[in-house]
Amino acid sequence: MFLFNSALVLISTVMVQFNIVLVLINSFLVLFFFQWFFFLFINVLVLFYTVFVLFFIVMVLYNTLLVLISTFLVLFSTVLVQFYIALVLYNTVLALFFTVLVVFNRVLILL
């Protein structure tokens, strides 16, 4: 899951860098050439890659949410295991107490 998250972050980083290059090309075309066809084409590419970057950001957030849920489930299962261990220890203490009572009863019977 962490590898998937890292891959998504890497892909979104590359897309953001490519998006920055497209914005620079767009600025260059607007400032120097005013070629509106290329201007619109670059804007469409910027919009396309911005949508992809947003998609990957959403995927990273969703993956982070899954990691948080799995961490909560691990912590909850840890608490349940500790509760089970406490019950086993309580049962052991009760068994020792009743063993002492039985031994005491046997001693009283022998007297």
Alpha-carbon distance of 16 to 23, in angstroms, equals 10
Place of tokens 């066809």: 37
Q: What is the pLDDT of residue 2?
A: 62
Tens-binned pLDDT, residue by residue, of the chain (111 aa): 666 777 777 777 777 777 777 777 777 777 666 666 666 777 777 777 777 777 878 787 888 888 888 888 888 899 999 999 999 999 999 999 999 999 999 988 887
Looking at the chain, the number of H-run helices and the number of E-run strands are 2, 0
Question: What is the end-to-end Cα distance of the chain in Å, rounded?
Answer: 69
Cβ-proximal residues to 42 (8 Å cutoff; 6+ apart), any chain: 22, 25, 26, 29
Place of tokens 């590359």: 14
Instruction: Say how far apart CA 111 and CA 107 lie, in whole Å.
Output: 6
pTM value is: 0.48
Give the type of residue at 4.
F
Domain ranges for the chain, please list them: 2-79
In this structure, what token pair is assigned to residue 100?
């002492």
pLDDT of residue 35: 60
